[in-house]
Amino acid sequence: MKTRAAITAIIAVLIFAAGYAALFIAPDEATMHEIQRVFYFHIALWTGMYTAIGLAFVGNVAWLITRQARWDWLGVSSVEVAVMCCTGGLITGVLWGKPAWGIWWTWDARLTTCFILWMLYISYLVLRGLIDEPQRRATLSAIFGIFAFLDAPLVYAANRLWRTQHPAPVLFGGPDSGLAPMILWVMLFCMAAIVCATLLVLTDRYRLERMRHELEELRFAVDLRAHQPANFATKESQ
Amino acid sequence: MTAARATATILGKELRLEFRARELLTITVVFALVIVVLFSFAFDPTAGESRRYGPGLLWIAFLFAGSLMLNPSFAREQSNQTLDALRMAPISPFAILAGKMLANLIFLAIAEIILVPVFAVLYNISLAGVVGRLALVLLLGTVGLVVTGTVFSAVASHARMRELLLPLLLLPLLAPLLTAAVEATAALFAEQPALDRAWLAFLAGFDIVFLTAAWLLSDYLLEE
Amino acid sequence: MPHATLGISFDGVEKRFGSFLALRGVTLAIAPGEFVALLGANGAGKTTLLRIAAKLSTPTKGTVSLFGGSAGIHPDERASASRGALAPALSSDAAKSAIGMVAHNTLLYDELTAAENLNFFARLYALENPRVHDALAAAGLASRSASLVRTFSRGMRQRLAIARALLHSPRMLLLDEPAAGLDRQGLVWLGDTLARLRDQGVTVIMSTHARNESLDLATRAVSLADGRVQRDSGSGGDPRPLLTELRAEA
């Protein structure tokens, strides 16, 4: 308990520090000034999202192979967290875009991929909500999750290919265009903070799922006892 | 029983069932037609605009009509639990899946053969000289739609609200396929029609990725 | 070619659906050639057990294995491992070819004719000489072989379902309340068919919760209650006391 509280506190401090760094320590960017600072969280949220999606994929594959419930818990927790990060990423993207370039949205590779993944993983959660039986729910959502994960690079590639044929002004200076060292440091720090926060939320969600499962098992064990005929030896299923 | 023979048997059964009833085909064609016609009420396309928006419209019509048509693929097997009979037979789960995929491909192909000329007439787009290449683009795009759609039909058949769920699962996934198919089609409708190899390769890649995934996951898809 | 015979053994089989335990540790060994009457009230787990035997469903715990009386049928792969790990249903084609099932649902295509249904399944089972017409004639459906199953009465569908299950000459026949919906003639045919199969050494597991003349053919009676084996007349024992009890209830 205490360790959890401590870790949560540390991560909270990290987030605040990251926020402070983004707002006050990072140097003023030449063209976009203050608004550019959203960029730190924007990139960080995407990092969090891709981490979560990677974990979701691991969970999906591991469930299909081992059938151990904890991989399903990992799958659903990761996807929920990924959707959260993705929502944040999309919102910050919009917040950045409008003041910076006068447009709310642009269909570049990264934003498009993020948007499609957002829809796909929301569909994953909708699918889970519509299947009641736990085994089947886990298996079918794992299959869909794998398909969704495979689609991500395809979305990105399609967009890039489209861009080569319909070139548009490059709007994202981004990390690849030679950043001042301070900007890079702040960005990495924000990424680390957000990823830690993401993992924290993920583990909390995972624990919630595990508790739900344990509640099911308890209910189930009670039901088992109720059906125990007197002359049969009890054999606990755990 | 070789997988190919099992697939062919199931394909035969699917075709026979559909050609007797002809419900799916009719509805698919009519629905796609409605979308195509409705667009002309929403926009008033000149020749130039038709060339620009036509491919997009065509493929959106196919995707929507297709995602409705794919749902019964597995849902139909539930009324008498005939899927159990298929699973009990000494054939691989992928043969069941492949048989249905091929059947869906044929149904959609027939719908497309009817729709494309109608579309060309309504929007004054000339198909002269590009029919063969257009057929190739249509084929590759439709394979992607059918492979993923059949898998998701199996997934959705175990869930509630499956008619609404299938498009929800399928359409976001097909976004890259839509881009590729539309671009490749647009290249053929242009002033100088050309076959865009990059997009064709992309479509082929898309098809291969998901066909492989379907093959690897087919056991899990049909198990109970 | 003389066929091998087929037995099946369940070892600690559990099947769970969410929080509902349909089978709570069934251990049962059925020798080749036995005719087992599977008794029990609705919800006792009979259908679940039969589905697992037919390889339609994999147990959540425990193992199921088929074993043959002689060469030609190999012991089946184990259906699951310990710690509740579930593997996808491993299909041994030989095992599947040797099992036939008559289920709750007809497992027939309503929009195909009787003959088309049988021909389709004959092809799936890679039968060289399916003798579909003979099968239909035996089931009393020869005159309706070209009619859509949709037009059949309940009894006729059940007869066709039975004919379909027998088409590939299975060495083990699983029947889930096969008498349901059959008329007098159909019941007689079922009884004759089962008697013939028993003489041929086919292993039969037939579930029922009510009176059924075919029960006279049983060599063993096993009753399930609450997902467990409650009573078992045993491999060499006399099933009649258990069966009589059943008749008294019904």
Q: Kindly report the average pLDDT of chain B as a whole number.
A: 91
Q: What is the mean pLDDT of residues A193-204?
A: 88
Query: What pLDDT sits at residue B63?
Result: 94
Task: Give pLDDT tens digits for B42-77.
Answer: 877 776 777 788 899 999 999 999 998 999 999 999
Q: How far is B31 from chain C (nearest CA, A)?
A: 24
Residue C148 phi, psi dihedral angles, 5° rounding: -65, 140
Q: Exposure of B8 by Cβ count < 10 A (0-12 exposed, 13-18 middle, 19+ buried)?
A: middle
> Is the per-residue pLDDT at A70 higher than 80?
yes
Determine how many CB atoms are found less than 10 A away from the CB of residue C248.
Answer: 7
Instruction: Give the burial string for A155-187 (b: 16+ CB within 10 Å, else e).
Output: bbbbbebbeeeeeeeeebbeeeeeeeeebeebb
Query: What pLDDT sits at residue A178?
Result: 57
Q: Are C106 and C133 in contact (CB under 8 A)?
A: no
Cα–Cα distance for residue pair A120/A129, rounded to 1 Å: 14
Determine how many CB atoms are found less than 10 A away from the CB of residue A16.
Answer: 11
Query: What pLDDT sits at residue C176?
Result: 93
Query: What pLDDT sits at residue A229?
Result: 59
Instruction: Dump the DSSP string for A8-36.
Output: HHHHHHHHHHHHHIIIIISPPPTTTGGGG
User: Residue written as tokens 């990264």?
Assistant: A110
Query: What pLDDT sits at residue B85?
Result: 95
- Which residue among B173, B179, B221 sits closest to A151, beta carbon to beta carbon? B173
Chain B, chain C: beta-carbon pairs less than 8 Å apart: 82
Residue A120 C-beta-side C-alpha neighbours within 13 Å? 28
Inter-CA distances, B115 with A30, B144, B182, B200, C166, Å: 54, 19, 16, 22, 46
Q: Are A44 and A195 in contact (CB under 8 A)?
A: yes
- Selected for mutation to probe chain B from A143, A149, A163, A166 (highest B CB count within 10 Å) is A143
CA nearest neighbour of C54 among C170, C149, C186, C133: C170
For B78, the token pair is: 């539930």
What is the interface pTM, i.e. ipTM, of the complex?
A: 0.93
CA C212 to chain centre: 16
Query: What pLDDT sits at residue C242?
Result: 79
Instruction: Give the burial string for B89-119 (b: 16+ CB within 10 Å, else e).
Output: bbbbbbbbbbbbbbbbbbbbbebbeebbeeb
For C40, the token pair is: 């029990």
Q: Are B45 and B189 in contact (CB under 8 A)?
A: no
**What SS3 class is residue C224?**
strand
CA C36 to chain centre: 10
- Residue B10: list chain C partners with CB under 8 A: 124
Q: Are A109 and A163 in contact (CB under 8 A)?
A: yes
Angle CA A127–A212–B222, to nearest 5 = 40
Query: What pLDDT sits at residue C75?
Result: 39
DSSP state of A231: T
CB contact under 8 A, A131 and B179: no
Q: What is the mean pLDDT of residues B186-203?
A: 89
Neighbours of C, requiring at least 3 CB pairs below 8 Å, are A, B
Cα–Cα distance for residue pair A75/A141, rounded to 1 Å: 9
Neighbours of B, requiring at least 3 CB pairs below 8 Å, are A, C
> Is the per-residue pLDDT at A196 higher than 80?
yes
Cα–Cα distance for residue pair B211/A51, rounded to 1 Å: 26
Query: What pLDDT sits at residue C207?
Result: 92
- Which residue among C96, C103, C116 sits closest to B90, beta carbon to beta carbon? C96
Residues in a beta bridge with C29: C9
Determine how many CB atoms are found less than 10 A away from the CB of residue C28.
Answer: 19
Q: What is the mean pLDDT of residues C162-191?
A: 91
pLDDT over 70 percentage in chain C:
86
Task: Give pLDDT tens digits for A107-125.
Answer: 777 788 889 999 999 999 9
CB contact under 8 A, C19 and A232: no
Cα–Cα distance for residue pair C149/C108, rounded to 1 Å: 8
- Res. C80 pLDDT band, cuts 50 70 90: very low
> Is the per-residue pLDDT at C73 higher than 50?
no
- Res. A31 pLDDT band, cuts 50 70 90: low
